[in-house]
Homo-oligomer: A and B are copies of this chain.
Amino acid sequence: MKKIKVGIAGLGRLGRTHAQNLAFSIPGAELVAACSVVAEELEYAKKELGVANTYDDFGQMCCNPEIDAVAIVSPSAFHAEQIKAALKAGKHIFCEKPLAVSEEECIAIEEEVAKHPECIFMLGFMRRYDPSYAYAKKKIKEGAIGKPYLVKATGIDPDAAAEQLLSSGFIPNSGGIMLDMGSHDIDLMRWFLEDEVASIYAVGSVVKYPEFAKQGDMETACATFTFRGGGIGQFHVGRISCHGYHIETEIIGTEGSIRISPVPEKNLAMIYNHTGAVKECVGSFPERFAVAYAEEMKEFIKCVQEGRKPDIDVHDGTAATVVSAAAQKALETGEIVRL
């Protein structure tokens, strides 16, 4: 199989995860270029990952003919433009979620992607590639729970990270809790129910850190989704999980249900001490989804090698953004939003 040469854009926390995977752990991939406006990130790529070519301009990186594919892990606001540039240069594209922050941009991207059928495009909803989620999907396909009719999801960032989150300036530019956190769950619901959202109702609260409200966001949001075919989705996202990073999903069907990770266990060890039997929990998304990030990239590289389209297409990105925006509107207005 041909080695796929990849250039990465963005080397923040998640960018480094992808870059390390591409550099060391993805069969068939070679990380040959990195692009960032932060000089020290490029230093890191050179020194730690042995990346030969570094750029502070995405367009320039795309001009490098050696590069087969780009991994876009830059801030969401740049996605649309970078995807367009990469397609124009004939590169295959792995793009982190969200596809873009507005429906208009998403649709524009969809159109561009459609014009370049020779370029593989994959969106980074990594949860689908987590072994437990992939197992659940496979079991459902095999009929293990009959027809799925309800998905219940929980996604809560660790409380330990809340203060840093509030002081970092992230929140006002995050697109709101529904886009930043809920879009993963929205994608999972669509994936498990194999259907599109029809309506959304949402409520939220700020109880622990009033600063979330001051920055125009919620600390906690609960939403209910109806789907066109009658399915239901219910989720709870938040920022103040005291025990760690809590991602839990249950898919309920007519013949059974599958629940993933009610205890976000760090590993298989349990400590028995004077407080009881204790499972320590994962502390962050890179820890929880380390395998998923690698698996999705393996799949991307394989798709490129085999000229095959991945299961997650560009429209999944649009759908997640559109539904997230509607959920955000539902949250802000307190009214039912129908799509």
Contacts and interface: CB of A to CB of B under 8 A. Distances in A.
A291 to B, nearest CB: 9
Nearest to A247: B268
Contacts of A255: 242, 273-274
A231 B204 CA distance: 9
Contacts of A269: 132-133, 135-136, 139, 258-261
A57 interface: no
Contacts of A139: 269, 271
Which of A150, A207, A208 lies at the interface centre, i.e. has the most chain B CB atoms within 10 A of its CB?
A207
B277 A258 contact: no
Given A201-B336, A274-B243, A275-B280, A150 B265 contact: no
Which of A149, A208, A273 lies at the interface centre, i.e. has the most chain B CB atoms within 10 A of its CB?
A273
A278 interface: yes
B201 A268 contact: no
B266 A135 contact: yes
A133 to B, nearest CB: 8
A89 interface: no
B268 A265 contact: yes
A278 B281 contact: no
A36 interface: no
Interface in A259-303: 259-281
Given A201-B224, A220-B150, A267-B135, A257 B272 contact: yes
**Secondary structure type dominating chain A contacts:** mixed
A305 to B, nearest CB: 13
A254 B145 contact: no
Contacts of A304: none
B234 A236 contact: yes
A271 B258 contact: yes
Interface of A: 20, 23-27, 131-133, 135-136, 139, 144-147, 149-150, 152, 159, 201, 203-205, 207-208, 220, 222, 224, 226, 230-232, 234, 236, 240-244, 246, 254-281, 334-336
Query: Which 3 residue pairs are nearest across A and B when measured between Cβ atoms?
Result: A256-B273, A24-B27, A132-B268
Given A201-B201, A243-B257, A244-B276, 11 more contacts: A132-B268, A135-B269, A147-B207, A149-B220, A150-B205, A150-B236, A257-B271, A258-B270, A276-B280, A278-B278, A334-B336
29 contacts: A23-B27, A24-B27, A25-B25, A131-B267, A144-B273, A147-B207, A149-B207, A150-B220, A159-B274, A201-B201, A203-B224, A203-B226, A204-B232, A207-B230, A234-B236, A242-B255, A242-B272, A243-B257, A243-B273, A258-B269, A259-B262, A259-B269, A259-B270, A260-B268, A263-B277, A275-B278, A278-B278, A335-B336, A336-B336
